[in-house]
Amino acid sequence: MARWVSALFRKNRSGKNDSRGNKGNESVTDGQGRTPEDRRPFFSLVRQQFHDCHDLVHRSYPHLGVDLLYFGHLVGPEELDRDLVRPLETVDPGELDQLLARSQFMRVETFTEAVESILDGQAVLFLRDGKDGVWLAQVSNPPGRSVEETEVEGSITGPHDGFSESAQLNVALIRRRLKSARLKAIRLRVGELSHTDVYVIYIEDIANPAFVEELISRIRDVSIEVLHEAHELVQLIEDHPNSVFPQFYTTERPDITVNKLSQGRIAVVVDGSPTVVTAPASLMEYFNAADDYYMRWISATGLRILRFIAFIITVSFTAFYVSITTFHYELIPRTLLVNLAESRARVPFPPLYEALFMEFTIEMLREAGARLPSKIGQTIGIVGGIVIGQAAVQAGFTSNILIITVASSAIASFVIPSYMMSTSLRLLRFGLILLAGIWGNLGLMLGFGFIIADLSHLTVLKSSYMTPLAPFNLRDWKQLVIRGPYWSLRERTSQSRTRNRIFSKMKR
């Protein structure tokens, strides 16, 4: 580092211009051939670091001996004009120290801190003519999306605000709901080039310190040049990266995040991502929706049971159709068997090929509807499904009963609140269809056995993914499997391993 700094000093003293394209007064030499920047090596080092950055703005105030550097598209125009430009244009040289004593100015001690401050959207002031000091002005206001309702996790009865791509705004939305000094937010930097801000948020005395330390350690160990999004970070820190199941719970809703934090979970906010990650997570959490906590507990419990039934349908319904129509006709009722035989009389393909063809068609329609604009996507999904389904039956490619089966499986997958879990279940469905087409019900049992074995060995921050089923904990069922009445939710779930187990202190 010392040799690099010395080399930059020698390069700057050689008289070469290191600020091409930047605004500011041209440098002039004194009687000894030295430029003003030679007498300000710290300023020269920073400008050398940003050479060829034509969007860097340099303002010079000779009457004050001040140079100002910032990126124009990262600062707020109003904040810059109010807190910097107008005061520097009107202040007298003797009043400069009083101006820098204001709260929006902070002292910069190192070269790295000055560079990072400019990259973060701050404006940095360099004092010259023998004055010592580098100061940053907090005028950052990068462009971003305001608080809007999330499209992925819609709510009927609950709040309608969602996270945005600004990490600071997302942290503010969390602190707005948790007004406590025990809410801690630790900032980390990930990415050698992007220097993405990552906030680890938890509630002191509720979150398990071992989980917090483990999560922070994993994030610090991430070695990547550019971190784009929270889901990318999840794949770098999860326990079992080759598993099909999501292991960290992701959400775009502040109310869900606050609920997880109050239960002893840890939240991770990534700058540039509207998704917040919470951990540790269990399988049962992916079947809980935000509306469950805003409606009557009996209705919420009924909806959760419906989601578990939808889980079974979306995974096994089409595979079970392939199994019984290929190997186990004796399981079909006699009245239904006649209709099934008539429906399949014109189909030239085995049930396995027939089911795979329709499942692939449904998945292509789903992807087409997701990638196209919303208005066109809805039309493609509805019209395409009806037209292709009817045409496939008339052409003899498939049977009417299979159309009903595949449509039921697709609809059941939409009942799952978590998109990441729904995607995983769609992949599992293809594997079970293949096993059912090869070995019938035996293949189905083998497939379910592999799924259960994979779920049983999954861990999240070294805690069981199958809580409260394995290890079995009946108390946690009131929050994860069903939604018990609020007066009965007195303790936090066991997966958080918190020392403060008491959640509600109601006397009823």
Of residues 302 and 502, the one with the higher pLDDT is: 302
Query: What pLDDT was estimated at residue 473?
Result: 86
* Same-domain status, 98 and 228: no
Q: Side chain identity at 186, as an amino acid letter?
A: I
The percentage of residues in the chain with a pLDDT greater than 90, rounded to a whole number, is 40
- How much is the mean pLDDT over the chain? 84
Describe the chain by its helix, strand, coil percentages, rounded to 5: 50, 10, 40
Query: What pLDDT was estimated at residue 30?
Result: 35
Per-residue pLDDT reduced to its tens digit, 414-461: 899 998 999 999 899 999 999 999 999 999 999 999 999 999 999 999
* Same-domain status, 304 and 406: yes
* Same-domain status, 309 and 264: no
Task: Give the domain extent around 173.
Answer: 167-281
- Residue 178, phi then psi, degrees to nearest 5: -120, 90
Query: What pLDDT was estimated at residue 22?
Result: 36
Of residues 334 and 303, the one with the higher pLDDT is: 303
Q: What is the 3-state secondary structure (H, E, C) of 272-308?
A: CCCCEEEECCCHHHHHCCHHHHCCCHHHHHHHHHHHH
**Residues paired with residue 190 on neighbouring β-strands, in sequence order:** 196
Split at pLDDT 50, 70, 90, the class of 20 is very low
Whether 497 maps to a domain, the answer reads no
Of residues 124 and 491, the one with the higher pLDDT is: 124
Per-residue pLDDT reduced to its tens digit, 308-323: 999 999 999 999 999 9
Cβ neighbours of 508 (radius 10 Å) = 7
Of residues 109 and 41, the one with the higher pLDDT is: 109
pLDDT above 60 (res 12) = no
Whether 480 maps to a domain, the answer reads no
Q: How far is the C-alpha of 170 from the C-alpha of 274, rounded, in Å?
A: 8
Per-residue pLDDT reduced to its tens digit, 123-177: 999 887 645 578 888 888 887 788 888 878 878 888 888 999 999 999 999 999 9
Torsion of CA 478, 482, 484, 490, to 10 degrees: 20
* Same-domain status, 33 and 128: yes
pLDDT above 80 (res 41) = no
* Same-domain status, 277 and 307: no
Q: How far is the C-alpha of 284 from the C-alpha of 400, rounded, in Å?
A: 34
Whether 491 maps to a domain, the answer reads no
Query: What pLDDT was estimated at residue 2?
Result: 42
Angle between helices 400-415 and 297-326 (to 10 degrees): 150
* Same-domain status, 100 and 201: no
* Same-domain status, 259 and 302: no
Query: What pLDDT was estimated at residue 448?
Result: 95
Query: What pLDDT was estimated at residue 91?
Result: 87
* Same-domain status, 338 and 385: yes
Whether 172 maps to a domain, the answer reads yes
- Residue 180, phi then psi, degrees to nearest 5: -145, 140
Query: What pLDDT was estimated at residue 17?
Result: 37
* Same-domain status, 307 and 193: no
Whether 287 maps to a domain, the answer reads no
Q: Are strands 459-460 and 134-137 parallel, antiparallel or unpaired?
A: unpaired
The percentage of residues in the chain with a pLDDT greater than 70, rounded to a whole number, is 88
What are the CA-CA distances from residue 103 to residues 88, 116, 301 (Å)?
A: 16, 20, 52
Query: What pLDDT was estimated at residue 244?
Result: 92
Task: Give the pTM.
Answer: 0.82
Whether 259 maps to a domain, the answer reads yes
Query: What pLDDT was estimated at residue 381?
Result: 67
Give the mean model confidence (pLDDT) for residues 327-347: 83
Q: What's CA 467's distance to the chain center, in Å? A: 23
Query: What pLDDT was estimated at residue 329?
Result: 85
pLDDT above 60 (res 4) = no
Of residues 376 and 257, the one with the higher pLDDT is: 257
Per-residue pLDDT reduced to its tens digit, 72-96: 888 888 888 888 888 888 888 888 8
pLDDT above 50 (res 19) = no
| CB distance 135 to 154 below 8 Å | no
Whether 132 maps to a domain, the answer reads yes
Split at pLDDT 50, 70, 90, the class of 330 is confident
Of residues 486 and 203, the one with the higher pLDDT is: 203
Give the mean model confidence (pLDDT) for residues 34-49: 66
What total number of domains does the chain contain? 3
Query: What pLDDT was estimated at residue 208?
Result: 92
Query: What pLDDT was estimated at residue 401?
Result: 87
Which of 122, 137, 152 is a domain's end point? Answer: 137
pLDDT above 90 (res 302) = yes
pLDDT above 70 (res 1) = no
Query: What pLDDT was estimated at residue 502?
Result: 79
* Same-domain status, 447 and 304: yes
pLDDT above 80 (res 114) = yes
* Same-domain status, 124 and 79: yes
Question: Which residues 6+ apart lie within 8 Å of 477 measured at CB?
Answer: 468
Whether 477 maps to a domain, the answer reads no
| CB distance 222 to 235 below 8 Å | no
pLDDT above 90 (res 101) = no
Highest mean pLDDT among 36-50, 283-297, 356-370: 283-297
* Same-domain status, 335 and 254: no
